[in-house]
Structure 1
C-alpha cells in the first residue's frame, strides 16, 4: 500500500512535517559583494533533517526524507545535490536508502565547498583568507560556519578598508568657471580689434600715407624737371647757332 503513494503526495506530506531542530530567528542584515546591506543567506544543516533510522525506515519514510532534503538543497542553490536526490528518487528503495545513508552527506560536502569557492570571486583579502581556512578544515561545521557567519564578518572588514569615494562636486566647479571667463574676455576684445583695423584702411580717415612711397614720387618728379631743363638749354644753343 505504501508503495502506491504518489510522489506528489509524499512531497506534500514532507512539507507538512516540521523540519526538526531549526528555530526561526530574525537575521541581522549583512553586506553583500558590493558592500550594500542585504539579508544573509543561511545554509541548512542537512544533518539535522535526518531524524529517522535509515536502516529500519520504510520506503515512504525514505522518500519523505529525500523530498525534505531536496527542498533544502534547492533553497540553498546547491549545484549537485538536487540532481542526485532526484536521480535516486527514480530508483529502487534500496538505492534511495544507500544514498541517504552515505551519498547524501558526501555530496552535500562537495556542494558546500563549491559554495565557499564562489564567495572568493572578486573578494577582498579577509574573505579569501577566511574561505581558505574553512576549505583547509574540510569539516561540515567549518564550512557551514564560514558560509553562515564567517563570510559576512570577513566581508565587513574588507568593506571597511575600502577608500571613501572622492566627492564629485569639486572637479566640475573649476572647469565650468574658467572657460566662461575666457570666452567673455575674448568676445569683448574682438570687436575693438576688428574696428581698429577697418578704421585704418577706410574712408573716414586715418593718417596720410608717408615714407617710402612719397620718396619715390618726389625722386621721379625731380628727374623729370632735370630732363626738361637740359632739353631746353640744348634747344636754345642749337637755335643760336642757326641764327648766327
Structure 2
C-alpha cells in the first residue's frame, strides 16, 4: 500500500514540471505570417525531460515521464506524437517503456517534420528556401533550430522585402448639376398685359391726349342738351299753373 502515495505525487508532478521550462525559454517577439509582431513560439526539446534510466525506472516513473512528454507535445500543438503516446499509455507498462526507449524519438521527429512543412503555406521566398534546406537535411536538432530561430529570421527578410503600400488618392467630389432641395429658385416674372389695354391686369397707363378731349366734348354737349330740355319743359307747364 505504501507505493500508492509516491505514485500520486509523481502523477501530479507530471503536469507541473513541463510548465517551468516553458517559461524559461520565452524568446524575443517575432513576426507571424501577416508580418505582425507576435510572441515567438518555442518548441520544447523533450529530450530534456528524460532524467531517469528507462531500464531501471519503476513503472510509475515511466508513466510520469510519458505524461510529461504528452503535455509538452500538446503545448507545442505537434501532430502524430500526442496520439502515439496516448496509445501506449492505454496499453501495458512494458509497451510504454519500450516506446519511450526507442519509438518516441521517431514519432517526435516525424511530428517536427510535419510542422516544418506546415510553415510553407503562404510563405515568402526566404522562408521557403530555409524550410526546404531543413527538409533536405533532416534531424531533430535541425528541425528545432529552424522552428525556434530560422523561421523567424527568414520571415523577417520576407517582410522587409515587401513593398510599402501607397495610399490611393481620394477623388474629389464633382458638384452635381442637379440643384439640391435647398436651392432657392427665383420665380420667373409673368408677362404683363400690353400697355394701355383696357382690361389688362395691374392697370394700364392713364388715357391722355386726343381721347381725353373727345370724352370731355361729348360730356359738355350732353350737359347743354339736358339744360335746354329742362327750360323748355318749364315753359310749357307755366300757363296751366297761372
Fold match by TM threshold 0.5 = yes
Does 1:143 pair with 2:143?
yes
1:3·1:59 contact (CA, 8 Å) conserved in 2? no
Distance 1:2 1:145 in 2: 44
Instruction: From 172, 175, 188, give the equivalent of 2:172.
Output: 175
Distance 2:125 2:145 in 1: 18
2:58 alignment partner in structure 1: 58
1:88-117 C-alpha deviation (Å, 9 max, x unpaired): 111111100110011111000111011111
RMSD over aligned CA atoms reads 3.3
1:87 alignment partner in structure 2: 87
Segment of structure 1 superposing worse, 11-20 or 33-42: 11-20
2:39 alignment partner in structure 1: 39
Gap change, CA 1:10 and 1:54, over 3 Å in 2 = same
1:47-95 C-alpha deviation (Å, 9 max, x unpaired): 1111211112110110111011011000000111111111111111110
Structure 2 residue ranges without an equivalent (≥5): 194-242
**Between Structure 1 and Structure 2, whose CA radius of gyration is higher?**
2
Distance 1:87 1:41 in 2: 27
Distance 1:85 1:75 in 2: 14
TM-score (norm 2): 0.68
Q: Which has the higher contact order (CA 8 A, sep 6+)?
A: 1
Distance 1:148 1:37 in 2: 15
TM-score (norm 1): 0.68
Gap change, CA 1:160 and 1:6, over 3 Å in 2 = same
1:20·1:48 contact (CA, 8 Å) conserved in 2? no
Equivalence map 1:1-244=2 (5 Å):
10-17=10-17, 24-168=24-168, 170-171=169-170, 174-176=171-173, 178-180=174-176
